[in-house]
């Protein structure tokens, strides 16, 4: 399962992007909130990815923030809401406002989102009112800590998403950085850290 992707932004549209990773282009579907914050084409982009498996396809949904990825995962767990609708929801409301609307049972605010009717709004409130408050509290670093660069934080988050304990991920990444030559990229650090973890 792909949890993170880092590479050259080869193409972008309001619906999706193509990220070039070592010559292979990955199409990643995105919400508008991510589109508006994307870098220019041919610049490096880093996305948190949710891999959606279907019988006939594997689809990638990408987000610049971990909070959006967490919200997306919760939304598609609600009956009647698939990945396309979940992406539309995140295009129509910020994660912070979504949390407030669901926590406060604001059916009117939720119903105003394109594609969400009264019944869907009620289901969102009923099924997510308790879960939505945990977004951003999963132990993943929201902002780089002092002395940690964004690349390090991204690799640690990717390892956490694979099921490793955060303390193990932090230790492995720290050791991997000391073993790699200068100028390493996400893939180099991720592979080296994963190699160290697999030996344990």
Are residues 70 and 40 both part of a single domain?
no
- Please say if the pLDDT value at position 108 is more than 80: yes
Are residues 122 and 75 both part of a single domain?
yes
Are residues 42 and 70 both part of a single domain?
no
- pTM recorded for the entire structure: 0.65
- CB hemisphere CA count around 193 (13 angstroms): 29
Are residues 155 and 194 both part of a single domain?
yes
Give the domain range for residue 36.
Answer: 4-63
The H or E element that residue 148 is part of is none
**CATH code (residue 59):** 2.40.50.140
Residue 159 in contact with residue 5, Cβ under 8 Å?
A: no
Are residues 73 and 54 both part of a single domain?
no
**CATH code (residue 122):** 1.10.150.20
Are residues 51 and 86 both part of a single domain?
no
Domain-embedded: residue 39: yes
- Interval 120-169: pLDDT, tens: 899 999 999 888 877 865 444 344 444 456 678 778 877 877 778 888 88
Residues with Cβ within 8 Å of 138's Cβ and at least 6 positions away in sequence, in order, are 66, 70
Q: Calculate mean pLDDT across residues 103-132.
A: 88
- Please say if the pLDDT value at position 112 is more than 90: no
- In the chain, the number of structural domains is 3
Domain-embedded: residue 170: yes
- Interval 44-53: pLDDT, tens: 999 999 998 8
Which of 134, 163, 182 terminates a domain? The answer is 134
Residue 64 in contact with residue 48, Cβ under 8 Å?
A: yes
**CATH code (residue 158):** 1.10.8
Are residues 70 and 129 both part of a single domain?
yes
Alpha-carbon distance of 190 to 195, in angstroms, equals 9
């Amino acid at each position: 399962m792909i949890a993170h992707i880092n590479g050259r932004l080869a193409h972008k549209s309001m619906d999706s992007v193509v990220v070039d990773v070592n010559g292979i282009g990955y199409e990643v579907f995105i919400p508008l909130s991510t589109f508006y914050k994307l870098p220019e084409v041919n610049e490096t982009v880093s996305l948190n990815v949710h891999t959606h498996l279907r019988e006939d396809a594997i689809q990638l949904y990408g987000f610049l923030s971990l909070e959006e990825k967490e919200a997306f995962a919760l939304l598609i767990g609600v009956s009647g809401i698939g990945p396309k609708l979940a992406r539309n929801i995140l295009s129509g409301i910020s994660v912070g406002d979504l949390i407030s609307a669901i926590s406060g049972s604001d059916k009117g605010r939720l119903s105003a989102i394109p594609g969400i009717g009264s019944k869907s709004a009620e289901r969102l409130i009923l099924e997510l009112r308790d879960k939505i408050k945990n977004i951003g509290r999963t132990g993943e670093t929201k902002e780089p800590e002092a002395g940690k660069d964004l690349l390090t934080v991204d690799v640690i988050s990717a390892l956490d998403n694979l099921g490793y304990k955060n303390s193990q991920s932090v230790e492995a990444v720290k050791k991997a950085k000391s073993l790699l030559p200068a100028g390493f990229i996400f893939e180099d650090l991720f592979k080296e850290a994963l190699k160290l973890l697999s030996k344990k």
